[in-house]
Amino acid sequence: MTVGNANTVGTVFVAGRLPTVTYNPREKLGLEPQLQEYLDDRGALLSVSGPTKTGKTTLLRSAAASGIWLSGGAVASKEEFWRSVGEGLYTDSDEAARQSVGNIRRSLLESDRCLVVDDFHYIDQKVQLEIVRSLKDLVFDGLPAIVASVPHRAYDAVRVEKEMTGRVTHLSISPWDDDDLLSIAKKGFAALGLVDNDSDLARRLSRESFSSPHLMQQFCKRLCRENGVAKAASDPFTLRPPASWVDFFSQSATDTSKAAFDLLAQGPRRRTDRLQRELADGRKVDIYGAVLEAIANTGPTLSIGYDQLRVSLREVLANEVPQRHEVTRVLDQMTKIAKEDIEGEPVVDYDEGLSTLHVSDPYFAFYLRWGQQGRVLPDQQA
């Protein structure tokens, strides 16, 4: 192949950064206009919710690039919150101003810049309450303030401060559908001069992306490189499928997700006296391993009701299913481990009130499906 322009695979297919060539605003959802309307109208706190790694931050960056950005994972107290806001407002020479919360609050309002707290759900609920209360009057005075969370934590701002009812507006970012994901491949392949007949390869990639544009970007990049493509071609080049889809996807599973899986499979502490249970395929695992197998056996789907999980346990176990209290105890412990021992977005989160397990990280869901060598789910295609 000959090089036709400056596009490279690494600049066209981008995971974890703001894409340019393959950016898809999903215009049919009207997300950007709704964000702009909020920035124009103000008078309320905007709660933006959507599954992790499905483009929340990318969307907000495109609409509020000049805003003051905070990461919820770095906020442990109200004082730390305002200190971080001050760092975004002032230069190093304004040290005195940065030490005064009153100065920071006044300057924030006068700056007319949007305040964005990404991963708001990472913040302890007691600290959330203090932050929301301290923002309430500023929001009333016209401060544009946005908090971004995963869907099942979208109403945290109202839960922690009842007085914010009616002063919080919500923007829900729905998961990406196949057409949304296919757009990434089509734009990127076209920019690189690549041909995917009838989008057959792109459709295969989209089916394994768990509605995540990050995963789709990663798969497209890998497929290009497996075809020996590094830069754009001046002549059309037809992409070939990998020799084995199982190998392609298994080798794409990340080490980070394996570490998370191992911690969940281990449970709260290593124990040699846990009852070993036989799986339908003959392998032996304890109850933590059995629950993870059952989660994987659902697809895995990203939200799994307890009854659905119990049916799946019957399918993966050779013998009797554990009692409900045993299973929910495991789910509670896994949630605790995911929040306390695993960096980043908790990969699983069990909502006891709704009896629903949320697989919060699509990369972890992908690992459950493809990352365990020697175990192939029934619907995996070679």
Task: Tell whether 38 and 118 lie within a shared domain.
Answer: yes
- Residue 2: pLDDT band with limits 50, 70, 90: very low
Range of the domain at 219: 3-19+177-241
251 within a domain of the structure (yes/no) = no
Task: Tell whether 181 and 285 lie within a shared domain.
Answer: no
pLDDT, mean of residues 353-382 = 80
Task: Tell whether 46 and 139 lie within a shared domain.
Answer: yes
The pLDDT value recorded for residue 346 is 84
Instruction: Round to whole Å and give the CA distance between 70 and 88.
Output: 9
Instruction: Round to whole Å and give the CA distance between 328 and 216.
Output: 33
pLDDT in tens, 47-102: 898 887 777 888 888 888 889 999 998 999 999 999 999 999 986 656 655 668 89
The pLDDT value recorded for residue 162 is 63
Which of 122 and 307 is assigned the larger pLDDT? 307
Q: Does position 320 have pLDDT exceeding 60, yes or no?
A: yes
Task: Tell whether 39 and 162 lie within a shared domain.
Answer: yes
Residue 291 and residue 371 in contact, taking contact as beta carbons nearer than 8 Å: no
Q: Record the pTM.
A: 0.79
Q: Which of 142, 172, 202 is the last residue of a domain?
A: 172
DSSP-based three-state secondary structure for 379: coil
Task: Tell whether 167 and 184 lie within a shared domain.
Answer: no
Instruction: Round to whole Å and give the CA distance between 42 and 18.
Output: 26
The pLDDT value recorded for residue 168 is 83
Task: Tell whether 181 and 168 lie within a shared domain.
Answer: no
- Residue 282: pLDDT band with limits 50, 70, 90: very high
Q: Does position 3 have pLDDT exceeding 50, yes or no?
A: no
The pLDDT value recorded for residue 1 is 38
Task: Tell whether 93 and 168 lie within a shared domain.
Answer: yes
Task: Tell whether 68 and 192 lie within a shared domain.
Answer: no
Task: Tell whether 307 and 237 lie within a shared domain.
Answer: no
Task: Tell whether 263 and 312 lie within a shared domain.
Answer: yes
289 within a domain of the structure (yes/no) = yes
Ordered strands of the 356-359 beta sheet: 303-305, 356-359, 348-351
Q: Which of 156, 172, 188 is the last residue of a domain?
A: 172
Class of residue 137 by CB neighbours under 10 A (exposed 0-12, middle 13-18, buried 19+):
exposed
pLDDT in tens, 22-48: 988 888 999 999 999 999 999 899 989
Q: What is the number of structural domains in the chain?
A: 3
Residue 71 and residue 44 in contact, taking contact as beta carbons nearer than 8 Å: no
